[in-house]
Amino acid sequence: MTRLSVVVVHGSFSDIYQQEFQGLLAQVKAQINHPVLGAYLECSDVSLAGAIAQFLQSQSCPPDQVQILPLFLLPGVHVREDIPEAIAQLRAQFPQVTFNLLDYLGKDGRLAPFLAPQFSPNSAAQRILIAHGSRRTGANPEIEKLAQALDAHTAYWATEPSLVQTLERCQRESINTFSCVPYFLFSGKIPGAIAQQITTLTEADPHLSIHLGQPFGTNPQCVQAIAQILNT
């Protein structure tokens, strides 16, 4: 039995996002004993189903098993609807191939070990985990559970509580020192905007101190974990 692993990300027009994703792919491929294809769900001229179909059609001996790993941190609409719809199209187009959808990367807080070292070692700093957030039912509770395991408050970019709201709530308790970690795999527009927002906030309030971690997708431990999932 031959296998193809497909690593799916949201996608971005950001050059640094694309560079970091390609870097992750290269590191994962070095640890995998079968072909690995990287694919974007959005921000690409080729759809997810189209990218996988093109690969299968280009092979003289196509794999008979395809496993798809969503590199997503929340169970939002992409994980619950868009990716399964793409797989349904592929199953109809390639009935001889078995397509398996793996759990999304962020499920069950399994990324906590990669996030914990990102926080400042300053024990006086209040931890905040900053995620994109989702208005989909059942999505944000996953973040809350992860934040609890990390002994951190939560803040969201696309929903509430926002970073400003979380900071203000803590400051009412006389907390002014924070360690914030972005729950993002790659750098790009939103992590960059978060960094700029933190710079603006600290410049406006001399009593406010915020340490900001970095996206963790290219962390060697994260790469190894992805490789282990695909090799299972």
DSSP string over 168-225: HHHHTTT--EEEEEE--SS-SHHHHHHHHHHHHHHHH-TT-EEEE----TT-HHHHHH
Confidence (pTM): 0.88
Same domain, 85 and 145: no
Cis peptide leading into 75, omega within 30 of 0?
Answer: no
What's the rounded mean pLDDT across residues 91-96? 95
Same domain, 127 and 199: yes
Same domain, 78 and 56: yes
CA distances 33 to 3, 29, 166, Å, are 9, 8, 45
Same domain, 101 and 14: yes
Number of domains in the chain: 2
Same domain, 82 and 129: no
What's the rounded mean pLDDT across residues 20-47? 94
Same domain, 131 and 208: yes
Tokens of residue 79, six digits: 């994980």
Q: Looking at residue 17, which CATH number applies to its domain?
A: 3.40.50.1400
CB 50 within 8 A of CB 87: no
pLDDT in tens, 37-90: 999 999 888 999 999 999 999 988 889 999 999 999 888 888 989 999 999 999
What is the distance in angstroms between the CA of the first residue and the CA of the last residue of the chain? 14
What's the rounded mean pLDDT across residues 96-104? 95
Q: What is the reported pLDDT for 219?
A: 86
Q: What is the reported pLDDT for 127?
A: 96
User: What range does the domain containing 31 cover?
Assistant: 3-106+218-231
Q: What is the reported pLDDT for 1?
A: 56
Same domain, 158 and 190: yes
* DSSP classification of residue 64: S
Same domain, 17 and 101: yes
pLDDT in tens, 211-230: 999 898 888 888 998 999 99
Same domain, 192 and 225: no
Same domain, 13 and 56: yes
Residue 155, judged by CB atoms within 10 A of its CB (0-12, 13-18, 19+), counts as: buried
Strand order in the sheet with 153-156: 153-156, 126-131, 177-182, 209-212
pLDDT in tens, 119-152: 888 888 999 999 998 777 677 888 898 999 899 9
Same domain, 126 and 93: no
Q: What is the reported pLDDT for 116?
A: 86
Same domain, 147 and 177: yes
Q: What is the reported pLDDT for 114?
A: 80
pLDDT in tens, 173-202: 999 999 999 999 999 899 999 999 999 999
